[in-house]
Structure 1
Amino acid sequence: MREASVLGYRVAPLFSYYSYHGPVFRVMLRLNRGKLLTNRHYEFISYCTKCGHSQSHSWDELSKLSCTCNKEGRSLVVSGPLWTGPLHSTSYLTEMLNMAEQLGWMGNGSGADLQKLLQLMVDESDPKLPFGYIKLDEVSFSYVLHIHTLPAVPKSTPLHLGP
């Protein structure tokens, strides 16, 4: 993103995918002429080692970082600048879903997996989601909770684990 901006372009993710088996990261980006009008989705992320709270910060806020549990800020680990905006384009993924259906790629077997993956990515593309969210099944595994047996809980649900 930084390199594109220096060259007079702006970049937006169309979709991104991570697979544990590699690990493999894949990102498809749209490249447009013109600089970003705002750095709204290009921020720093802090993590408090005392309470576990994470939050995003603009460039202007870097000199006054602190956590609500510790006003001194010594417990913060800061990463960035990072992309904190949506990881997928809803309209692009919807087009992918429609095209896969037209080509007969949906249905039983691997087609069901494709439909499930693309629908999950559409759900993740909600611009109102915070910069980070945790899937409930991962929280369940980490804390030995058995919430995966609740059928009403979607596989990917936004959570705020901080205050």
Structure 2
Amino acid sequence: MGEIHELAPLPQRTLDGWHRFVASGDRDLLASLLSEHIVFRSPFVQSPIPGRPATLLVLTTVVQIFENFRYHRSFIAGSHDVALEFSANIGKWQLKGIDLIKFNDAGEMLEFEVMVRPIKALAALGEEMGNRIGPQLSQLKQAAGVLR
């Protein structure tokens, strides 16, 4: 109890890069942070979405949709896991969320899970994501062998 955790140096460097990506929307920067084997867990679907192409598509789209996006707090668990609390707007909806990120030993993002509340803001996000990338994401999931 009372332990202070900090990320290992390589995950910390990746997390710094993530914050630069959020500020810039630079797709190439984001690609350099993701493991080839990354798994994305969406608040909309039960099955994880594997692979760098799908994660790139989702995350580069989300940063375009969110308005007034900002991180508030970071929670570090061990040397390779972080939770980031955020808020944003989608149209009239104010939302809060958490990004749960697990890093591999090389410092790359290996798992990225998003949780969002309230349900009406989540529904607005889902609708906007579906309008923008629904068909592309379905193709990437099928290519990765994920049916739902």
TM-score normalised by structure 1 residue count: 0.20
Q: Which has more radius of gyration?
A: 1
More helix by share: 2
Q: Identify, as 1 or 2, the structure richer in strand.
A: 2
Normalising to structure 2: TM-score of the pair? 0.22
